[in-house]
Amino acid sequence: MSETICTIKNVDKHFGHFQALNHVSLTIGKGDIYGLIGENGAGKTTLMRLMTGLSPLQTGDIELLGEHVGHASRSLSRIGAVIESPALFEKLTVAQNLKVCAIQHGQGSQQEIDETIAFVGLTAKRNTKAKNLSLGQRQRLGLGLAILPHPDFLILDEPINGLDPTGIMEFRALLQRLNQEQHVTILISSHILTELYQVSTRFGILHHGTLIKELTKAELDEANQAGLLITVDDTAKTARLLDQAHITPFQVQDRTHILIMQKDADAGLINHTLVSGGIVVEDFSHRASSLEDYYTHLLQEAEGAVK
């Protein structure tokens, strides 16, 4: 089993009578990019604040890099985080903000500061005061502050909020580089589901403070398969014909629908095969993988379970 970076067990959090988190348990393995999905108010930020010790733990247990949160602060020095919005010294420049962070952590040479500035793409802005940065540049500086001390684990709360499409693409590339080149484990929250799908390797879905689903990207893809959806009069016979013609994999969805789970399935060949075999093909349509559909479906199930 791979090394575990974070284990959360039965964590509850109340604000007065409001229950923000309800028995949340999850684990994040080394090397994961864990996407935490949830609507506004689902409890994503609360969970991240508990993990970083910014919010006192009430019940349950959080183990971060082998230490219990709240008992020791040593593990905190091995994580980087941007919770809610980047906390910057507005009157200091990009380079000066990073210098303060480097001194606080007792590390970070000028060269490392320069490398971090280059890594987050702020070289041209190194002498610009934080108050004069755009939203995207602030997010990059926040990320720079979080990664400067070479963390093992990075916690990012809605980091792509407010970014333009180019900014989102660049930020996504930054995260993937961090994960692949520096082997940083990342927990990232967002309500922009397609973006999380692009970058994450595992997912946790929070709804009204409850973790309703935890799954890998492969499991999500399987549950939410893209491909060619065929409407036929006889799915059993169609399945036999597809099997004989080695047009696989496919999935019988119901009495009239079969999903060919290939992104580039040859509709002409399939149509010829089926019609030649005596099948009445009523319709062909491409079905895209949609995290939103899956998510909406899960929420409806969760709401149904509550009712």
Partner 1 sequence: MINQMRADLYRQFHTLGYYLVVLATIALSALIVGFKSVGGVMIQTDTTNLDKLASKSWTAIESLQAATLSSSLLVYLYIGLFVILIGYEFSQKTYKNTLLSGISRLQFIFAKYVTLVVDMLVLIFIYYLTALAVNGLAGRSLGENLGTLLGNTATESLTIAFFISAVFSLAIVLLVATGSNVIASVFIALWPILIGVIEALTQWNWLKYFDVTGAAENIALGTLKVDALWPYLGTCIGLVLLSLVGSAAVIRHREL
Binding site for partner 1 (CB under 8 A): 49, 52-56, 73-74, 76-77, 79-81, 83-84, 87-92, 96, 99-101, 103-106, 145, 149
Nearer to partner 1, 94 or 193 (CB): 94
Closest Cα to residue 186, out of 34, 43, 50, 5? Answer: 34
Q: How far is the CB of 201 from partner 1 (least distance, A)?
A: 24
- Say how many C-beta atoms besides its own lie within 10 A of residue 198's C-beta: 15
Helix axes of 110-119 and 135-147: crossing angle, nearest 10 degrees: 140
Q: How far is the CB of 32 from partner 1 (least distance, A)?
A: 20
Give the Cα separation of 30 and 4 in Å (integer): 6
Nearer to partner 1, 103 or 236 (CB): 103
In the Cβ-directed half-sphere of 290, how many Cα atoms lie within 13 Å? 9
Q: How far is the CB of 31 from partner 1 (least distance, A)?
A: 22
The answer to whether the beta carbons of residues 186 and 33 sit under 8 Å apart is yes
- Edge-first strand order for the sheet with 281-287 is 250-252, 257-260, 227-232, 281-287
Q: How far is the CB of 214 from partner 1 (least distance, A)?
A: 26
Q: How far is the CB of 301 from partner 1 (least distance, A)?
A: 32
Degrees to nearest 5, angle at CA 30 with 62 and 121: 105
Q: How far is the CB of 226 from partner 1 (least distance, A)?
A: 40
Nearer to partner 1, 64 or 199 (CB): 64
Per-residue CA distances from 271 to 158, 161, 262 (Å): 45, 44, 15
Q: How far is the CB of 119 from partner 1 (least distance, A)?
A: 18
Nearer to partner 1, 48 or 160 (CB): 48
**Which distant-in-sequence residues (6+ apart) come within 8 Å of 171 by Cβ?**
136, 139, 140, 143, 159, 160, 163
Nearer to partner 1, 117 or 168 (CB): 117
Nearer to partner 1, 130 or 241 (CB): 130
Nearer to partner 1, 51 or 274 (CB): 51
The answer to whether the beta carbons of residues 64 and 3 sit under 8 Å apart is no
